[in-house]
Structures are given as structure tokens and as C-alpha cells.
Amino acid sequence: MPKKIDYEKIGLKCGLEIHQQLDTKKLFCNCISLLRQDEPDFEVKRNLHVVAGESGEVDTAASYEVSLNKDFIYQGYDTTCLVELDESPPRKINQEALRIALQISILLNANSISFTFSFLTSSSSSLFTSSSE
């Protein structure tokens, strides 16, 4: 018989991360969000190096991936910018995409993790207003 695990005791936290391409610009730069299937113009081979994320903490899953010493191949096109290639820091978050994501989160009765809101700026009061305003 398998041993019963006390998830609360071990501090297990679970979440669901959903990715959806929105009909906006990209999330962390002003490029078009275009999913291409044609042959890439170039490839960049990388090894992961773990760093602190937006929350200031090092991600456990990223640390584990680094320990595996894998190579990752980035495929690039004439539409690929330095942010997408991880060669430049992300720009200010796309406010339209953030507004849409938070609206979907509310509609799903989901809890947004707190550091999501650190991206909000003084314009946060207009996040839930109509884009036609």
C-alpha cells in the first residue's frame, strides 16, 4: 500500500498556467504576435542559466532544468526580436494583454498570484475599462 502524503505538511502548492496567444502585440515587447510554421531563418543554441524571476525568487523547476545540462534550440525569423531571443530584458508589460488576461482570470473565478500585480502601473485604474475609451 502506498504511503499517504501529507501535502500541507510538505508545503505543496499547485497551480495551473494557461498559455493563449492573444490578438495583441507580444507580452513583453511591441512586436506582432505571429506564430510561424515556415522554415526558420536561423537557430541559436543555448544552455540554461538560472536567475531570479519577476518575483525575485529563483524558480525551482528552472533550477532542476539547469541541473540536467540540456541544450535548447531557439528558432528565429525576420520577425524575431532580441527580447524574444532572450538577448534583451523584457520591456514594460503589454497593458492590453494584461487587461485581457486578468478579465479571463476573473471570468474563470481564478486567483491571480500576487506578484502579477507588481506589473501594474499608475494606469492600473484603467485596466478594466473599455479599449474604445
Residue 82 or 110 with smaller CB distance to Zn ion: 82
Question: Residue 104, Cβ neighbours under 10 Å: how many?
Answer: 13
Residue 29 or 62 with smaller CB distance to Zn ion: 29
Contact 52, 58 (CB under 8 A): yes
Q: If we measure between CA atoms, which residue out of 108, 82, 93 comes closest to residue 22?
A: 93
Q: Is 10 exposed, middle or buried (0-12, 13-18, 19+ CB in 10 A)?
A: exposed
Please report whether residue 93 would count as binding Zn ion according to CB under 5 A. Answer: no
Residue 21 or 63 with smaller CB distance to Zn ion: 21
Shortest Cβ 79–Zn ion spacing (Å): 8
Region of 1-9, 21-29, 68-76, 107-115 interacting with Zn ion (CB under 5 A) = 21-29
Shortest Cβ 15–Zn ion spacing (Å): 27
Shortest Cβ 75–Zn ion spacing (Å): 15
Q: Rule CB under 5 A: which residues touch Zn ion?
A: 29, 31, 81, 83
